[in-house]
A and B are shown apart, each in its own frame.
Chain A
Amino acid sequence: MLVAMGRANEAVGEPATDSWTSRFVVSADNRRVVESLTALGNGSFGTRGLISHSTGASRPDTFVNGLYDNADVPRLLAGPVWNGLDACRPESGNQAPVEEATLDLAAGVLKSETVGETIVSSVEFVSLCRPGVVVLRISGPVDSISPGDPLREPPKQPGVTVSRSSNDPQTLTVASGAATITAAASDVVCDEDGLRTLTRIAVYTSSTTSADAEELEERCRERLGDATNVGFAALLAEHTNAWRERWKPITIDLDSQPDTERSLRFAQFHLLCASNPGDEVAIGARGLTGRAYNGHVFWDTDVFVLPALAAFAPTHARAALRYRWHRLAPAQRRAHAEGRRGARFPWESAGTGDEVTPRSGTDLHGNIIPIKTGQEEEHIVADVAWAMAAYVAWTGDQEFLRTTASEIFVETARYWQSRIEVGDDGVGHLRGVIGPDEYHETIDDNAFTNLMARWNLRHAVTTCEELGIGDQTECAAWRRSAERLLNPYDEQRGIHEQFNDFFELEPVLAGSLGQPPLPADALLGHERIQQTQIIKQADVLMLHHMIPDDMPPGSLESDLAYYLPRTAHGSSLSPAVTASLLARSGQTEAALFWFDLAARLDTDDLSHTTAGGIHLATMGGLLQAFNQGFLGVRPRHGDLVVDPRVPPKWGTITQGFIFRCTPVLLVASEGEFRLTSTDPISTVTAQGERRTGRRITARRTHNQWEYT
């Protein structure tokens, strides 16, 4: 018999539709996966979801953006645990209670309910309005909830010290080298008519500069006092209002496909949780949702997350780019140390901006394999520049272009110019690199690296000319370098050769190993895979996604036809980009397959690694596949290209985004689209027809869009 009682999660109210919520039934086995999926954050601070208590094998980490320990390969430092309870379990009869966690995407809160013969319910959130403030309210029968210590030590981390102050309220500090996270928390327990309501408010402060510990503790206590005075109801109200404001210009409606609609909102939610409009934000591969990849920042952020943020939260995108810009000096030092000019950004980056890629790992055959990405995956240099350009294209932010992006364009162009080796035939080469397909190492003239470097050099020239900056002689040298850099396009076959002699490799297709997606390197082994044409993920094809205007007309279809059968999709980055490109080429059914796979990658734990955090690049890729792939929306030379290819089963789609500071609403179906914006925007169809206005409509006629 259920006991009727007030529930903590009722404080939030119900969201408008079910597709504004993501629900997960929690078990002992999937608990750590759900903790990742329901993680909350505000870009500065992140906490894994759910309440940790003795009955579940929790991994209740909290993280502060940009705070790493001082290990040789630095790891995101896990801070004090604020959401632990000694017990929060309802009375249960013969059957174990059922725990369900519901992420209310619209309100930015996590609601949980554990149902046995009685009910324990909770709501928790990371305040969007008050940095470092986290709040939990839990209610249930008095004997079901035992708060215990409001702050607990995180799971053991090598080389990390934990100390507790004795002053009231107590603080708990976790420190490694100069990185320090301090938290203070207070519990208010109210027992009434057999019902217990516990309200816990915690505050986190941090420092990366060996700040005075007492000062941090005092700051924590002060802010805890402030938050406590505001009280639960007001903290919740301001927080949920802030989230609802966030959603207004960027809502996605896909009424006929509630699951897809939910997946897209879920992706937006997590990108927003991982970022903020602060001075800088380091968006690691798993954000602040788990320890996998040590919180390191990869090209995932620049290429997969950034364009999505630029369209939905441009100020957040700007902060992510400033993370790179603030680490220009170490990138310059590295280039100099390697005998180059300009700046070489690290493949894996943490707090300092130095290269932090581990040097080796053990494969599934028990062999120790050198990890060469830190030395050879140099396309990151162009990726960083490309991300800057993507942001400027979406926002038109001239101030950022002048003060930040232009410097990156110049420094990365200098790097490429000094990196290119010119052969006796006068052709430029980039030798000894790794492309996005990481199965093949130490290769020459990787198509992706070469053509992105060429794009980088050209873009630097254009920017310098537009802004009237830079040295004309240097610009001329960049232009020469760009034009003589080998372009591995085979005009006869209409396809790009992925790298020098790729066509000579053993012509094995991915399908010969099984049904992709599959980890071909694990199946064949590190040495064997390099002798075949099987690739891990889009490599040549990434060029069609990132710089489509630089690719020869018609080559998307021929490159797709050649490379997809060779692609194992052994990377979580692969499905979304594949979906996007298939959508652009009109292969809708295949595009939807890969799109759905990307949407389920974390919620179904397809990688078996979601317990270590969610895949933010997959989320960003999913949003790009939707926006750029199916809706055909992307910025180009100050215009907005709109060329929807809406799958018939999707019916009518509504998507809000921000283009050049103007909120835009796109309503699109298979046969027509309508754009409305508060200020006039300039749009262009795939055929090059331009239209400017606040309300633009078009109809598909003979497979082409015509304005009406």
Chain B
Amino acid sequence: MRRVLGFVDDSPCTTSVISTAESLGRLLNADVDLISVEEPGHGPPERTHGVRMVTGDAAEVLAVELAAHDVAFAVMGSRSTHTKSEPLGHVTNALLQSSPVPLAIVPPSGESLPQQPRLLVPLDGTGETTTAVRDVAERLTEAGANIVGLHVYDSSSVPPFVDSLRNLETIAEEFAERHLPGRTERCELRIGDPGLHIIELAQLDEIDGIILAWHQRLSAGRAEVLRYVLRQLSVPILIIPIKPAPLGRASSPPERLEGKSPPAPPE
């Protein structure tokens, strides 16, 4: 049996972490394993019933837990308040960048995943992002989750011959078929700032959670969308690590699965 880990501490996120871990356990048919870290110099956390205690530096010991072969998912809390510009604490920050398994980040006093959640899956249209989320999306939809796809174009990626609004439906259907075949109840297309559109659609559509593929790089200028979404939303964010490309392909631009782009006309 695979496990869903829930990292419990004394923060306001604890209740949401536990209930989200339980939801994911049900959806993924996995055991829930709640863990709390007793760090040297600190006392034990308030809640210990049903929680497995481990000792040591939190980032280090939890990294070891995440690396276990039977871990399917892990759930942890974000910072205790939305007002801070950095929504992630140092432990979460460290684990996000190294976790080999998907992590669900739960905001404080946020909502947990219901039994049959509506999940928003933003995709950038590259093969690597799609590959990252496809397996999780398939397993969750098989367990009853509903998925709304979202693709946000920038000014250079939007198809040139849209013709009319009518064609956006066709483009969206094909996008969904290529990236999450048979898994989406519908797919939405937007142009502009991905973070803004994720927030807007999540709120309009009463989304219960977001599935985001991510390169696990938090350096300056990276993960802007992730940070923005974490700051703005009170639903769990399921972050799926993008596996690194094989050696020799790392510098290649990610492959887009859609039709080709036209060349530039002559002067």
Residues of A within 8 A of B (CB): 28-29, 32-33, 57, 291-293, 358, 361-366, 369, 371, 373, 438, 513-519, 521-523, 569-574, 589-590, 593-594, 597, 600-601, 604-612
Whether B259 and A594, one on each chain, are in contact in the complex, defined by CB atoms closer than 8 angstroms, is: no
**Given A292-B167, A293-B166, A519-B160, A604 and B260 touching (CB < 8 A)?**
yes
Whether B168 and A364, one on each chain, are in contact in the complex, defined by CB atoms closer than 8 angstroms, is: yes
Whether B192 and A608, one on each chain, are in contact in the complex, defined by CB atoms closer than 8 angstroms, is: no
Query: With an 8 A cutoff between CB atoms, is B153 at the interface?
Result: yes
Contacting residues, chain A, for B167 (C-beta < 8 A): 292-293, 607, 609, 612
Partner of B155, one of A291, A365, A513: A513
Partner of A522, one of B158, B200, B258: B158
A-B contact pairs, 29 of them (CB 8 A): A57-B181, A361-B166, A361-B168, A362-B168, A364-B153, A364-B158, A364-B190, A364-B191, A365-B192, A366-B200, A371-B166, A513-B155, A516-B160, A516-B265, A517-B161, A518-B158, A522-B158, A523-B158, A523-B191, A590-B266, A604-B259, A606-B159, A606-B261, A607-B163, A607-B259, A608-B171, A609-B171, A610-B259, A611-B170
In the complex the two chains form, what is the Cα distance from A117 to B247 in whole Å? Answer: 29
Whether B162 and A607, one on each chain, are in contact in the complex, defined by CB atoms closer than 8 angstroms, is: yes
Contacting residues, chain B, for A611 (C-beta < 8 A): 170, 173-174, 177
Query: With an 8 A cutoff between CB atoms, is B182 at the interface?
Result: yes
Contacting residues, chain B, for A518 (C-beta < 8 A): 155, 158, 160
In the complex the two chains form, what is the Cα distance from A334 to B131 in whole Å? Answer: 52
**Given A590-B266, A605-B260, A362 and B177 touching (CB < 8 A)?**
no
The 9 A-B pairs at the shortest CB distance, nearest first, are namely: A605-B259, A361-B165, A612-B170, A607-B161, A517-B160, A364-B191, A608-B159, A572-B161, A611-B174
Whether A362 and B165, one on each chain, are in contact in the complex, defined by CB atoms closer than 8 angstroms, is: yes
**Given A364-B168, A569-B160, A570-B162, A608 and B265 touching (CB < 8 A)?**
no
Query: With an 8 A cutoff between CB atoms, is B164 at the interface?
Result: yes
Query: With an 8 A cutoff between CB atoms, is B197 at the interface?
Result: yes
In the complex the two chains form, what is the Cα distance from A633 to B110 in whole Å? Answer: 70
In the complex the two chains form, what is the Cα distance from A517 to B200 in whole Å? Answer: 29
Query: With an 8 A cutoff between CB atoms, is B262 at the interface?
Result: yes
- The distance from the CB of A321 to the nearest CB of chain B, in whole angstroms, is 24
In the complex the two chains form, what is the Cα distance from A446 to B265 in whole Å? Answer: 28
In the complex the two chains form, what is the Cα distance from A608 to B261 in whole Å? Answer: 9
Contacting residues, chain A, for B173 (C-beta < 8 A): 611-612
In the complex the two chains form, what is the Cα distance from A113 to B175 in whole Å? Answer: 27
Whether B190 and A371, one on each chain, are in contact in the complex, defined by CB atoms closer than 8 angstroms, is: no
Whether A366 and B161, one on each chain, are in contact in the complex, defined by CB atoms closer than 8 angstroms, is: no
| CB 8 Å contact bits of B73-113 with A (1 = contact, 0 = none) | 00000000000000000000000000000000000000000
**Given A570-B160, A593-B265, A364 and B170 touching (CB < 8 A)?**
no
Query: With an 8 A cutoff between CB atoms, is B257 at the interface?
Result: yes
Partner of A572, one of B153, B163, B191, B260: B163
**Given A364-B153, A364-B190, A571-B161, A597 and B174 touching (CB < 8 A)?**
no
In the complex the two chains form, what is the Cα distance from A363 to B192 in whole Å? Answer: 12
In the complex the two chains form, what is the Cα distance from A573 to B162 in whole Å? Answer: 11
Whether A593 and B259, one on each chain, are in contact in the complex, defined by CB atoms closer than 8 angstroms, is: no
Contacting residues, chain A, for B171 (C-beta < 8 A): 608-609
In the complex the two chains form, what is the Cα distance from A609 to B197 in whole Å? Answer: 23
Query: With an 8 A cutoff between CB atoms, is B156 at the interface?
Result: yes
**Given A371-B165, A607-B160, A608-B159, A33 and B189 touching (CB < 8 A)?**
no
- Report the nearest B residue to A57, measured CB to CB: B181
- Report the nearest A residue to B159, measured CB to CB: A608
Contacting residues, chain A, for B161 (C-beta < 8 A): 517, 519, 569-572, 574, 601, 606-607, 609
Query: With an 8 A cutoff between CB atoms, is B264 at the interface?
Result: yes
| CB 8 Å contact bits of B238-267 with A (1 = contact, 0 = none) | 000000000000000000011111111110
**Given A570-B161, A593-B266, A606-B161, A514 and B155 touching (CB < 8 A)?**
yes
- Report the nearest B residue to A296, measured CB to CB: B166
- Report the nearest A residue to B174, measured CB to CB: A611
Question: Which one of B160, B171, B178, B260 has the greatest number of beta carbons of chain A within 10 Å?
Answer: B160
Contacting residues, chain B, for A606 (C-beta < 8 A): 159-161, 259-262
Query: With an 8 A cutoff between CB atoms, is B201 at the interface?
Result: yes
In the complex the two chains form, what is the Cα distance from A364 to B190 in whole Å? Answer: 4
- Report the nearest A residue to B170, measured CB to CB: A612
In the complex the two chains form, what is the Cα distance from A610 to B169 in whole Å? Answer: 12
- The distance from the CB of A155 to the nearest CB of chain B, in whole angstroms, is 11
Contacting residues, chain B, for A522 (C-beta < 8 A): 153, 158, 162, 191
Partner of B164, one of A33, A438, A604: A438
In the complex the two chains form, what is the Cα distance from A601 to B167 in whole Å? Answer: 15
- The distance from the CB of A516 to the nearest CB of chain B, in whole angstroms, is 7
Contacting residues, chain A, for B174 (C-beta < 8 A): 32, 608-609, 611-612
In the complex the two chains form, what is the Cα distance from A516 to B156 in whole Å? Answer: 11
Whether A292 and B170, one on each chain, are in contact in the complex, defined by CB atoms closer than 8 angstroms, is: yes
Identify 18 new A-B residue pairs, CB closer than 8 A, beyond the known A363-B168, A589-B266: A57-B177, A292-B166, A365-B191, A366-B190, A366-B200, A516-B265, A518-B160, A519-B160, A570-B162, A606-B160, A606-B161, A607-B167, A608-B259, A609-B159, A609-B167, A611-B170, A611-B173, A612-B174
- The distance from the CB of B200 to the nearest CB of chain A, in whole angstroms, is 6
Contacting residues, chain B, for A605 (C-beta < 8 A): 258-260
Contacting residues, chain B, for A610 (C-beta < 8 A): 259
- The distance from the CB of A363 to the nearest CB of chain B, in whole angstroms, is 6
In the complex the two chains form, what is the Cα distance from A571 to B182 in whole Å? Answer: 30
In the complex the two chains form, what is the Cα distance from A609 to B160 in whole Å? Answer: 11
Whether A517 and B262, one on each chain, are in contact in the complex, defined by CB atoms closer than 8 angstroms, is: yes
Contacting residues, chain B, for A292 (C-beta < 8 A): 166-167, 170
Contacting residues, chain B, for A513 (C-beta < 8 A): 155
Partner of A29, one of B158, B257, B265: B257
**Given A515-B265, A607-B161, A523 and B170 touching (CB < 8 A)?**
no
- The distance from the CB of A592 to the nearest CB of chain B, in whole angstroms, is 9
- The distance from the CB of A590 to the nearest CB of chain B, in whole angstroms, is 6
- The distance from the CB of A708 to the nearest CB of chain B, in whole angstroms, is 34
In the complex the two chains form, what is the Cα distance from A516 to B163 in whole Å? Answer: 14
- The distance from the CB of A551 to the nearest CB of chain B, in whole angstroms, is 24
Contacting residues, chain B, for A608 (C-beta < 8 A): 159, 171, 174-175, 258-259
In the complex the two chains form, what is the Cα distance from A607 to B181 in whole Å? Answer: 20
In the complex the two chains form, what is the Cα distance from A609 to B258 in whole Å? Answer: 10
- The distance from the CB of A310 to the nearest CB of chain B, in whole angstroms, is 24
Contacting residues, chain A, for B164 (C-beta < 8 A): 361, 371, 373, 438
In the complex the two chains form, what is the Cα distance from A513 to B259 in whole Å? Answer: 21
Question: Which one of A373, A594, A612 has the greatest number of beta carbons of chain B within 10 Å?
Answer: A612
Contacting residues, chain B, for A364 (C-beta < 8 A): 153, 158, 168, 189-192
- The distance from the CB of A34 to the nearest CB of chain B, in whole angstroms, is 12
Whether B165 and A519, one on each chain, are in contact in the complex, defined by CB atoms closer than 8 angstroms, is: no
Contacting residues, chain B, for A569 (C-beta < 8 A): 160-161
- Report the nearest B residue to A517, measured CB to CB: B160
Contacting residues, chain B, for A293 (C-beta < 8 A): 166-167
In the complex the two chains form, what is the Cα distance from A600 to B159 in whole Å? Answer: 14
| CB 8 Å contact bits of B195-224 with A (1 = contact, 0 = none) | 001001100000000000000000000000
- The distance from the CB of A538 to the nearest CB of chain B, in whole angstroms, is 14
Contacting residues, chain A, for B258 (C-beta < 8 A): 605, 608
Question: Which one of A293, A364, A516, A571 has the greatest number of beta carbons of chain B within 10 Å?
Answer: A364
Contacting residues, chain A, for B191 (C-beta < 8 A): 364-365, 522-523
- Report the nearest A residue to B153, measured CB to CB: A364
**Given A361-B168, A366-B200, A611-B174, A57 and B182 touching (CB < 8 A)?**
yes
In the complex the two chains form, what is the Cα distance from A601 to B170 in whole Å? Answer: 16
In the complex the two chains form, what is the Cα distance from A513 to B154 in whole Å? Answer: 12
| CB 8 Å contact bits of B124-154 with A (1 = contact, 0 = none) | 0000000000000000000000000000010
In the complex the two chains form, what is the Cα distance from A292 to B161 in whole Å? Answer: 14
- The distance from the CB of A233 to the nearest CB of chain B, in whole angstroms, is 37
- The distance from the CB of A674 to the nearest CB of chain B, in whole angstroms, is 31
